[in-house]
Chain A
Amino acid sequence: MSAGAVTTGLAGDRAAGDPAAPPLASRQRRAARRARSAVTLLAQGEPMLWLTGGGLVVAGAMIVGLVALIVWQGALTFWPAPVVSITTADGRTVWGEITRRDVFKPDPSLMGSLAPQARAAAGRELSASGGRLARRLVRSGNFELSGEHFTWVSDYEIAPDGEARPRWALVVERRSWGRFYGEPVAYLEDGKVVATDAAAVWRAVRSAQPAVLARVARQRDLERREMDRLNTRVEKARLAVRQAELDHGRDSAAWRQAVAAASRIETAMGQAFADLTDRIDALKRENERSVVRLRTGDGREADLALGDIVRAYPANQLDGAAKWGVYLSRWREFLADEPREANSEGGVFPAIFGTIVMTLVMSALVVPFGVLAALYLREYAKTGPLVAAVRISINNLAGVPSIVFGVVGLGFFCYLAGGAIDQAFFAARLPNPTYGTGGLLWASLTLALLTLPVVIVATEEALAAVPGSLREGSYACGASKWQTIQRIVLPRALPGIMTGAILAMARGAGEVAPLMLVGAVKLAPELPLDGVAPFLHPERSFMHLGFHIYDLGFQSQNSEAAKPMVFTTTLLLVAIITGLNLAAIWLRARLRRRFAAGHF
């Protein structure tokens, strides 16, 4: 009908004026447009496709590469490698696990210093590889004998047929001094040799180990918990004396009473201490009775008390299942135990625990404040320059370097607020600070400040996304503003708020720089949350995975041994943060489904 009208109109038009001109002109115009689009590169779309796609590929490759590196290195750390015996041409023998291999350009003076045989081998290798030599880093352990944990072995040094895998080479992980590599030559009970055959010695070690490990655990428990309990009581009595002195003055009746009580407790505790020390010593003696004698690759012998051994295995005899056993037991130790050897061995449990407790406390602080602030900004505040300024400030806060928050936390929370708290409530302990130094509470508060913008922005967006029609519907039912917020707006905005909260958690869990100033430490004697009243100890310093990585990577004495732990710890931290993010995504999807708009 209308198409007909158009045709009629056109026909009339053409009849009225110059018949062919308008269509021709428009056709020419169209042709001109097509021609132009052919020469303009950007109009074609293809270059933009390549540009954007390329950007995505580069970003993806970087992320995938990083994650792959962390996963690969982190997952391999605990896999038991075989023990290799390497004998050099000059008669040195090294036993150990190969850690890595690389090539180097030798110093010109090197060739002159070599023995003739080695020089010939090195010359051959140099000419074959274009001036480079290959070498391997062997984790050779036996620190008390050799003075080093790792040894470089160059390929040209190795004697012909100098490499072997000794069948009975044991890898021994010890509580101190790092690993030991050697083959068993004797098992001693109370100084008497019980077994000498390698297999028999190994059997004896295996059968004695569970009891020994149980005693070690018991001993650590006594040292930790019982000793702690006694110490706490003595400390409390001493604090009471000091408090009485502060409150009533020296030589007052109260002070004298406190002194008497303290000396009573100290005598009683002195007895208990002696008992406890006896029990601990008895356990130690019991564990020192069983000794395994090992011979190293270069023929020296060493006696290792079973109590010092964390884990031992004949690396070259392990079948698949046994390898997995070692691997998993190392992971278990890593996740559940405390660190040893300046953090380069053992587990990171205190760091995991510290990270999680700190993150939870931080969330408990930041989410309520952030949500309240966002509620005020979005629901109550009248839009105007003031609110706009506040919003801009919050967004700027998100861009402030995190170390600045650390400085603020240290200066304001630790020194100012903590100092005031100490003066007011913990005067008896001064000059030792209680709250006046870094600790869980201050670290959590600092990170709460740091992540506040994330929560506020996310919550504001979530609130803004709640349709006005729902609010109006609620008001029309006679609901008050708060009822509307509480019953309609907040539930509806919950997915967004949760997402913000969990992103803030992930951000806080991965933050290190400010923590170094406000409470994360290399080694915390106690957990921030334990069985001693009041259970949560907000003043205690704590260990943190992020800080642990920094410490392992840059502060470690035995940096080669610490390196794989860096990767493993990183893997763990990345896994925790990824877990939090996945939880956020899952939660959001779940809640979104609940609030999905109805269909018509």
Chain B
Amino acid sequence: MREKRDMETQSIVTRPSPPDAVDLRRRPGSGENRLAAIAAGAAVPADIHAGVFASPAVLDIENFNLWYGQKQALFDLTLPIPRGKVTALIGPSGCGKSTLLRSVNRLNDLIDSVRIEGDMRLNGDSIYGRSVDVIELRRRMGMVFQKSNPFPMSIFENVVYPLRIDGERNRNVLQEVCERSLRGAALWDEVRDRLGESALGLSGGQQQRLCIARAIAAEPEVLLMDEPCSALDPIATAKIEELIAALRGEYSILIVTHNMQQASRVSDDTAFMYLGRLIEYGPTVEIFTRPHLRETEDYITGRFG
């Protein structure tokens, strides 16, 4: 027991501490207080930079709340996702990034205990409206998951799956889409000779790019990516980052990431969330170089979380 305390002290001492750490804790209205207030359940307005309103939004999240049973996971989120750009969602683990992403294509509907309030709009169309056809809605989006999930079928069938379920039978169309998507996912050259083989024979990075190819096969209006690189090595990660850069402009991408460098490299805008609330949202350059809020800076520089 005594040993352990001793070790903790030691490790705190060895970590470089910010010179103004003590100041920060004392300053009124600053980071620690705001975060403490949020933890206590207070509603704190988000700081949204003007820059994100510059281009038209593909997705509008409006006063969105979500509960898992009794527990609220998202609090009154309001943010626009600009069209043709890459928007990164960052925040400590458990802050609701995945939940938000899965709310966009209503995957949370599969969980019985989920209850929502508020709405989102995809290019002006309500997502949670009464008369919305969920299946139709999901076809307008693509999603890439943290862990690659290729289907147990051939590479070709994996890529054209969204078309298959639409009933597309025309071989030419399917082949064309397959090639375009695989090229889009920078995988074509690696698998062009083995399209008929099982997708499960691909490497992890290839599988993840295959999932990206599948997600863009139906030319979605928004591409949702939930930590797409977290299970990949640096080379595969670099490939996927290049890919995201290449897809920017053509697709609107909403990406969750824990990697600050990745967020700063690939995204145009960044939203910082904490405990189910939006804290600060603005162009990535501003968020990373001159954030309005202290706690954003702390998170980005790795001082907490």
On A, residues with C-beta under 8 Å from B are 2, 5-6, 8-10, 12-13, 382, 467, 469-480, 483, 487-488, 491-492, 594-600
Q: What is the 8 Å Cβ interface bit string for chain B, positions 192-212, against chain A (1 contact, 0 not)?
A: 000000111111100100010
Q: What is the 8 Å Cβ interface bit string for chain B, positions 142-157, against chain A (1 contact, 0 not)?
A: 1101011111110000
**Beyond A382-B112, A470-B149, A594-B152, 8 extra complex contacts between A and B, CB < 8 Å:** A467-B149, A475-B107, A478-B166, A487-B161, A598-B148, A598-B199, A598-B201, A598-B203
Across-interface contacts of B162 in A (CB, < 8 A): 477-478
Contact between chains at A472 and B3 (CB < 8 Å)? no
Binds A, one of B75-83, B132-140, B243-251, B269-277: B132-140
Contact between chains at B165 and A477 (CB < 8 Å)? yes
Whether B214 sits at the interface, judged by CB under 8 Å, is yes
Residue of A nearest to B146 (CB): A469
- Smallest Cβ distance from A458 to chain B, in angstroms? 19
Residue of B nearest to A1 (CB): B14
Contact between chains at B3 and A5 (CB < 8 Å)? no
The count of chain B contact residues (Cβ–Cβ below 8 Å) is: 44
Contact between chains at B200 and A472 (CB < 8 Å)? no
A476 to B148, CA, bound (A): 13
Cβ 8 A contact of A2, one of B7, B138, B150, B207: B7
Contact between chains at A600 and B3 (CB < 8 Å)? no
Across-interface contacts of A598 in B (CB, < 8 A): 148, 150, 199-204, 207
Across-interface contacts of A475 in B (CB, < 8 A): 107, 110, 138
- Smallest Cβ distance from B41 to chain A, in angstroms? 31
Contact between chains at A5 and B149 (CB < 8 Å)? no
Across-interface contacts of A483 in B (CB, < 8 A): 165
A598 to B203, CA, bound (A): 7
A598 to B136, CA, bound (A): 31
Contact between chains at B145 and A469 (CB < 8 Å)? yes
- Smallest Cβ distance from B79 to chain A, in angstroms? 21
Across-interface contacts of A479 in B (CB, < 8 A): 135, 161, 165
Contact between chains at A476 and B107 (CB < 8 Å)? yes
Contact between chains at B231 and A473 (CB < 8 Å)? no
Across-interface contacts of B153 in A (CB, < 8 A): 491
Across-interface contacts of B204 in A (CB, < 8 A): 598-600
Contact between chains at A13 and B2 (CB < 8 Å)? yes
A489 to B138, CA, bound (A): 19
Residue of B nearest to A596 (CB): B200
Cβ 8 A contact of A469, one of B142, B149, B164, B203: B149
A600-B231 CB under 8 A given contacts A9-B10, A476-B107, A477-B165: yes
Whether B105 sits at the interface, judged by CB under 8 Å, is yes
Cβ 8 A contact of B135, one of A472, A473, A478: A478
Whether B189 sits at the interface, judged by CB under 8 Å, is no
Whether B218 sits at the interface, judged by CB under 8 Å, is yes
Contact between chains at A488 and B151 (CB < 8 Å)? yes
The 4 closest A-B pairs by CB, nearest first: A478-B139, A600-B204, A476-B143, A9-B6
Whether B301 sits at the interface, judged by CB under 8 Å, is no
Across-interface contacts of A487 in B (CB, < 8 A): 151, 161, 164-165
Residue of B nearest to A468 (CB): B110
Q: B112, B136, B145, B161 — which one has the most chain A CB atoms within 10 A of its CB?
A: B161
- Smallest Cβ distance from B201 to chain A, in angstroms? 7
Residue of B nearest to A12 (CB): B6
A472 to B106, CA, bound (A): 11
- Smallest Cβ distance from A425 to chain B, in angstroms? 42
- Smallest Cβ distance from A580 to chain B, in angstroms? 26
Whether B11 sits at the interface, judged by CB under 8 Å, is yes
Q: Which of B102-125 contact A (CB under 8 A)?
A: 105, 107, 110, 112
Sampled A-B contacts (11; CB under 8 Å): A9-B6, A13-B3, A467-B149, A469-B145, A475-B107, A477-B138, A478-B136, A480-B165, A594-B198, A598-B202, A600-B204
Q: What is the 8 Å Cβ interface bit string for chain B, positions 59-91, against chain A (1 contact, 0 not)?
A: 000000000000000000000000000000000
A522 to B144, CA, bound (A): 64
A597 to B152, CA, bound (A): 9
Q: What is the 8 Å Cβ interface bit string for chain B, positions 1-42, against chain A (1 contact, 0 not)?
A: 011001100110000000000000000000000000000000
- Smallest Cβ distance from A314 to chain B, in angstroms? 62
Contact between chains at A472 and B107 (CB < 8 Å)? yes
A475 to B198, CA, bound (A): 21
Across-interface contacts of B149 in A (CB, < 8 A): 467, 469-470, 472-473
Contact between chains at A478 and B203 (CB < 8 Å)? no
Contact between chains at A597 and B151 (CB < 8 Å)? no
A8 to B203, CA, bound (A): 46
- Smallest Cβ distance from A288 to chain B, in angstroms? 68
A197 to B164, CA, bound (A): 83
Across-interface contacts of B150 in A (CB, < 8 A): 598
A478-B211 CB under 8 A given contacts A382-B112, A472-B107: no
A470 to B150, CA, bound (A): 7
Across-interface contacts of B135 in A (CB, < 8 A): 478-480
A597 to B204, CA, bound (A): 10
- Smallest Cβ distance from A485 to chain B, in angstroms? 12
Across-interface contacts of B152 in A (CB, < 8 A): 470, 488, 491-492, 594-595
Contact between chains at B3 and A6 (CB < 8 Å)? yes
Residue of B nearest to A484 (CB): B165
Across-interface contacts of A473 in B (CB, < 8 A): 143, 145, 149, 151, 211, 214
Cβ 8 A contact of A5, one of B7, B143, B165, B207: B7
Cβ 8 A contact of B138, one of A6, A478, A488, A594: A478
Q: A5, A10, A473 — which one has the most chain B CB atoms within 10 A of its CB?
A: A473
Residue of B nearest to A480 (CB): B135
Across-interface contacts of B218 in A (CB, < 8 A): 477-478
A483 to B162, CA, bound (A): 11
Across-interface contacts of A12 in B (CB, < 8 A): 6
A467 to B152, CA, bound (A): 11
A599-B165 CB under 8 A given contacts A472-B149, A477-B138: no
Residue of A nearest to B105 (CB): A476
- Smallest Cβ distance from B85 to chain A, in angstroms? 21
- Smallest Cβ distance from B149 to chain A, in angstroms? 4
A8 to B9, CA, bound (A): 12
A300 to B200, CA, bound (A): 79
Across-interface contacts of B148 in A (CB, < 8 A): 598
- Smallest Cβ distance from B69 to chain A, in angstroms? 14
Cβ 8 A contact of A599, one of B141, B151, B198, B203: B203
Across-interface contacts of A488 in B (CB, < 8 A): 151-152
A5-B10 CB under 8 A given contacts A477-B218, A491-B153: yes
- Smallest Cβ distance from A403 to chain B, in angstroms? 42
- Smallest Cβ distance from B22 to chain A, in angstroms? 24
A352 to B131, CA, bound (A): 60
Residue of B nearest to A488 (CB): B151
Contact between chains at B138 and A5 (CB < 8 Å)? no
- Smallest Cβ distance from A149 to chain B, in angstroms? 61
- Smallest Cβ distance from B153 to chain A, in angstroms? 7
A382 to B112, CA, bound (A): 9
Contact between chains at A474 and B107 (CB < 8 Å)? no
Across-interface contacts of A476 in B (CB, < 8 A): 105, 107, 138, 141-143, 145, 215, 224
Across-interface contacts of A467 in B (CB, < 8 A): 149
A131 to B198, CA, bound (A): 75
Residue of B nearest to A4 (CB): B10
- Smallest Cβ distance from A468 to chain B, in angstroms? 9
Contact between chains at B203 and A600 (CB < 8 Å)? yes
